[in-house]
Structure 1
Amino acid sequence: MLVQKILKAGNYGTKNESRLKISVMTSIAGMLANVFLCIVKVILFLFTNSLSILADAINNLTDCISSVSTIIGAKLSTMPGDEKHPYGHGRIEYISGLVVAIFVFVTGVEFIRISIGRIIHPKHIEYSTATVFLMILSIAVKLYMVVFYDEISKKINSLPAKAQSKDSMGDVIITGVVVISIFVHKMTGWLVDGYVGVLISLFVIYSGYELIRDTLSEIIGEAPRNVVKKIKDSVKKYDEVLGVHDIIVVNFGPQKTYITLDVELRYDMSLVRAHSIIDRIERELEAEFNCIISIHVDPVGMYSEDEEKFARVLKDIVKKNPTVWSFHDLYYENGVLRVDIVVDGNKVHNDMECDELKLYIQSEFEKILKCNYEINIDRYF
């Protein structure tokens, strides 16, 4: 219900869609829920003196800070491009997520220190039925937030919302462990509060580590394998297209993605016809993937007698060597052979191995004709 209201308020799915408004409203809703839970647990801590409950309350407080950071990041990331940043400021959203992740990690480390102190110097704790009830209520609220954040993240492709969904699931586990420790204490009298605090802290640290890893991966440039495959499949649906290669996807934030690729068309197609086809492909891909597309045309289908000989050698290499996937842009003119070889980047690891492969291919070519060779190795993953 809340998800639909927020999406409707942000005009989701229409030409007036406001991703910023959806992000801000999502963060505010999450922040209000976490403030409520934090206050409840601090009050419970004052009555019970339970460090694990306090650790859980502080964890909810970090979630509030996460929501604030998401709001700031969402607003800054929508700033238009300028002279220094012509592609906009979309990646600020990833940086805001990184700040939150570091804060979560540091909080976990600090609570390990406090929890170890409680293990060394245990204190008697009193739990009431109301305490247990409120903690279970907290679990129910967090479970709802898991679904809430997850649905929003899928609708608007939001990394911070996805991280908050994951963090909320962690909160469910954390609070569940606290409730279990309460039952253990009531049934056995064992003072396990400090040990539970350590477990919670370790979980918070791991959550922080995962968020840091995932966010850094986006900032560095994570390989969009699924997107590349979808693009290739979409382009190959056109009858005139003979092949697709050299697909490069670069994003400057969730809403600004640039894609370049090479499309193979028949060599004898007129320039006007080729331009018309490529223009249509670009428009339809931009609508499908919400991106900016640039396509380079490769004419194929006509090899000279010498080029045909080289092509047969390459086809044989592709067939026998699983490291070599394909080849393209094969040209022989003025005593120079040029060709691009596509290889498995997981098997050809560095420039030295690329050079070794070039020498091998060149030795195979020289069995046909000795000339100058320009062999380019494209590593794909």
Structure 2
Amino acid sequence: MIKFIIRSFIQDYEAIHNKQVREAYGVLGGVLGVICNLLLFIIKLTIGSLIHSIAVISDAFNNLSDLGSSLISIISAKMSNLPPDPEHPFGHGRIEYIASLIVSFIIFSVGFQLLKSSFSKILAPEKVIFSPILMLILFLSVLVKVWMFFYNKYIGETINSSINKATAYDSLNDVIATSAVIATTILEHFIPFSIDGIVGLAISFLILYTGFKIAKGTVNLLMGLSPNPELVHTINSKVREGQYIVGTHDLKIHDYGPGRIIASIHAEVLDTINIVEAHAIIDDLEKRISDELGINIVIHIDPISTDIEKNEQIKVFITNRVYEINEQFSVKNLRTTKGLNCTNTIFDLFVPSSIKKTDYKEICKLVSERIVQNSPQLNIIIDTVNPIISEAER
């Protein structure tokens, strides 16, 4: 159904790297959220009032907070698409992350209010009135939230939107919460005491936990996370597809908001290639990556030395220095480029699989220092650190 709605309301819906199309996805998701959550809030508040259930009323106000989240997603979709200005040369894409943080604060606020109401209901319990028709309506509201989970998840994955992904899993929590409310209301019909306040308390904790998860994920994005390994592999692979490019290294990715990724990478080309031809190949690669991945990338040319004898001498020297650190370490895929006052030396380091990945950074530092200590004219670039897989581990 969501695909039909997208096709009906978004022109050029397949051009997801287009900022206008991406904005249309965000606005559409927000509008659907406002409509669904407003409807659910009215229904649940009415039912909760009629049957005197704090759990249902809690669930209703949870939907009201979701409505606020949908409004914020609409505003953020519009604002994050504003063009760059002198104060924000990379655009306003991170507004979407700030919007997600605001959503988490709204969820926290609702969670604390419901926590307070649920405590009051535990201290002064009131019998919940059972109504099969009202329970059926609540069950239908669960189906609405299931649909909201899937459509938000689809939009979030399609346009890589943090706020839609957060809304999707918030909707999934709502499915759990409302299902618990229905089960509690039915159960109270058969038991002599009230557990409505306890369930309301549990729902409030669920709401608070959702707010915490969204806040944590958003803060990580604002602070800067390590790039997605799949994206790293994709960029490296696409650059290496270029004619005369024999390798890549030193990839850097900067996230200025969904659809606003800026990257740089060093492309290794043979030093026998004409510079004009190499430049044309790089220009073509930058354009292709921009068109296919929506990433603004700068590719730096590193002419790889074809002096086999010199490269072999350097490899023997580095291998010996690495061997001094650990006899099980090995060097592979070594190549060199001539710098102004140094020789850039790039290679892959292989270490025993028993060594933890958290120690790789320290090992790279140790290897670099040992090599430079003995040969200051070398600039060491360890491209990757890989575990040595033994026959037994295979």
TM-score by length of 2: 0.85
In structure 2, what is the equivalent of residue 278 of structure 1?
282
Find the partner of 2:207 among 204, 209, 214: 204
Deviation at 1:43, TM superposition (A): 0.7
CA distance 1:371–1:123, shift in 2 (3 Å): closer
CA-CA distance at 1:328 after TM superposition:
5.7
- Per-residue deviation at 1:61? 0.2
Deviation string 1:222-271 (CA, Å, 9 cap, x unpaired) is: 22221111111222234522111111111212122111111111111111
Matched, 1:230 2:234: yes
Deviation string, structure 1 residues 58-89 (Cα, Å, up to 9, x no partner): 10000000011111111111111111111111
> Cα gap change, 1:325/1:37 in structure 2, threshold over 3 Å: closer, same or farther?
farther
Match among 173, 185, 188 for residue 188 of structure 2:
185
Residue of structure 1 equivalent to 2:392: none
Residue 289 (structure 1) aligns with: 293
Q: Secondary structure at the match of 1:294?
A: strand
Match of 1:347 in 2: 359
Task: Give deviations 1:80-101, integer Å, cap 9, x for gaps.
Answer: 1111111111110110111001
What's the counterpart of residue 6 of structure 1? 6
Letter in 2 for 1:361: I
Provide the aligned length of Structure 1 versus Structure 2.
Answer: 373
Q: Any unmatched runs of 5+ in structure 1?
A: none
* Cα displacement (A) at 1:333: 8.0
For 1:138, the equivalent position in structure 2 comes to 141
1:113-192 aligned at under 5 Å gives the runs 113-192=116-195
Alignment match of 1:66 (pick from 62, 65, 69): 69
Please tell me the residue identity of whatever aligns with 2:91: G
Match of residue 311 from structure 1: 315
Q: CA deviation at 1:279?
A: 1.7
Q: Give secondary structure in 1 for the equivalent of 2:239.
A: helix
CA displacement 1:106-125 (0-9 Å, x = unmatched): 32233223222322322222
CA-based RMSD: 3.0
Instruction: Indicate which of 350, 370, 384 corresponds to 1:360.
Output: 370
Q: 92, 95, 99: which one pairs with 1:96?
A: 99
Q: Which of 89, 108, 113 is equivalent to 1:110?
A: 113
Question: What letter is aligned with 2:254?
Answer: V
Distance in structure 2 (CA, Å) of the matches to 1:322 and 1:192: 62
Q: Which of 292, 302, 311 is the equivalent residue of 1:298?
A: 302
Cα offset, 1:290, TM superposition: 1.0
C-alpha deviations, 1:280-301, integer Å up to 9, x for none? 2112111111121210011114
Residues of 2 paired with 1:373 and 1:244: CA distance?
19
The 8 Å contact of residues 90 and 253 in structure 1, kept in 2 or not, is answered as: yes
> Could you tell me how far apart the structure 2 residues matched to 1:330 and 1:345 are?
28
Q: Which amino acid aligns with 2:285?
A: I
Question: Normalising to structure 1: TM-score of the pair?
Answer: 0.87
Identity of aligned residues (%): 28
Q: 1:79 aligns with which of 57, 82, 85?
A: 82
Query: Does structure 2 retain, via aligned residues, the 8 Å contact 1:91–1:252?
Result: yes
Letter in 1 for 2:206: F
